[in-house]
A and B are shown apart, each in its own frame.
Chain A
Amino acid sequence: SAVISQKPSRDICQRGTSLTIQCQVDSQVTMMFWYRQQPGQSLTLIATANQGSEATYESGFVIDKFPISRPNLTFSTLTVSNMSPEDSSIYLCSVSQGQGKSPLHFGNGTRLTVT
C-alpha cells in the first residue's frame, strides 16, 4: 500500500494567518482527498484534489478558504486560510487508486490549533 507523508504533524497558529499542509505519496495514485476530523468525531470530506485542475469541493467548503493544489500524481497541498479558532481540527490527506476494491490510505494527519 502507498506510504503517505503529511507535514506538519501539528501546528499552533494565530488567527488570521494561513497554514499550508503538504501530502507526499511514495507512488503515483489516482485519487487524493482531504478530510477534516474534530477530536472524537467522524471524518468530513473537504475536497477531492484533481491533478492539474481545480479541486472539487464538498458542500460547506470553498476554494477561498481551503485552496488545494495537486501538481502531479504524488503530491498535494491544502491551505487553511485566514484561520479562526473554529478551524482547529485534524486534517487528513488520503489516497486511493480509485477503481474496484481500492481502499483509502491515510496520512498521519495534521493537528491544527488556532489561538
Chain B
Amino acid sequence: GQSLEQPSEVTAVEGAIVQINCTYQTSGFYGLSWYQQHDGGAPTFLSYNALDGLEETGRFSSFLSRSDSYGYLLLQELQMKDSASYFCAVRDGGSYKYIFGTGTRLKVLA
C-alpha cells in the first residue's frame, strides 16, 4: 500500500523556524510536493523535489532524501498567515496521480 505520514500538529511562535516532516511508502515515486491549505480554502502548491537535496523558495524550503523515503518542509520567519494545514504529496510517475500525506496543522502564536 501507499502511505505518507506527517505529524498531526505543530505549534510555533511568530518569527520562529519550523520543520514539518514527511515519511513515505509508495509503489511509485516521481517527486515530493508540498501544499498549503487555509481553513475553508483550496490547497495551493508550495514546492516540489524530484531529486535529493534542498529547494528554496523565499521563506519556504523543502528537502528530499529518496534513500530514506523522507522529506521535510522548512518554514522560516514564521508569520501569523502561515497558520494553515500542510500536506506532502507523492506523484506516481506511471499514472501522474498524486497521493497526499496525513497533513500537519501548523499554529503560529503571536
Contact partners of A92 in chain B: CB under 8 A: 42-43
Q: In the complex, which of the residues A33, A40, A103, A108 has the most CB atoms of chain B within 10 Å of its own CB atom?
A: A103
B71 within 8 A of A: no
Complex CA distance for A102 and B103, rounded to whole angstroms: 21
Cβ of B35 and Cβ of A104 under 8 Å apart? yes
Cβ of A43 and Cβ of B41 under 8 Å apart? no
A113 within 8 A of B: no
| Consensus secondary structure, chain A interface | strand
Cβ of A33 and Cβ of B97 under 8 Å apart? yes
Q: Which listed residue, A33, A40, A41, A107, touches B98 by the CB 8 Å rule? A: A33
Cβ of B42 and Cβ of A109 under 8 Å apart? yes
Give, as a whole number of angstroms, the nearest-CB distance from A65 to chain B. Answer: 19
Using an 8 Å CB-CB cutoff, how does the interface string of B69-99 with A read, 1 for contact, 0 for none?
Answer: 0000000000000000001010000011111
Q: Which listed residue, A56, A98, A106, touches B42 by the CB 8 Å rule? A: A106
Complex CA distance for A107 and B95, rounded to whole angstroms: 21
A105-B45, A108-B42 known; A96 and B96 CB under 8 Å? yes
Cβ of A42 and Cβ of B42 under 8 Å apart? no
Cβ of A42 and Cβ of B103 under 8 Å apart? yes
Contact partners of A45 in chain B: CB under 8 A: 97-100
Give, as a whole number of angstroms, the nearest-CB distance from A109 to chain B. Answer: 6
Cβ of B48 and Cβ of A101 under 8 Å apart? yes
Contact partners of B100 in chain A: CB under 8 A: 35, 42-45
Nearest residue in A to B30 (C-beta to C-beta)? Answer: A100
- Which A residues are closer than 8 A to B by beta carbons? 30-31, 33, 35, 40-45, 48, 56, 92, 94, 96, 98, 101, 103-109
- 20 A-B pairs (CB sep. < 8 Å): A31-B97, A33-B98, A41-B103, A42-B103, A43-B87, A43-B100, A44-B100, A45-B100, A48-B97, A56-B95, A92-B42, A92-B43, A96-B96, A101-B50, A103-B33, A104-B35, A104-B45, A105-B45, A108-B41, A108-B42
List the 6 shortest-distance A-B pairs measured between CB atoms, nearest first: A103-B45, A106-B42, A43-B100, A98-B96, A42-B103, A42-B100
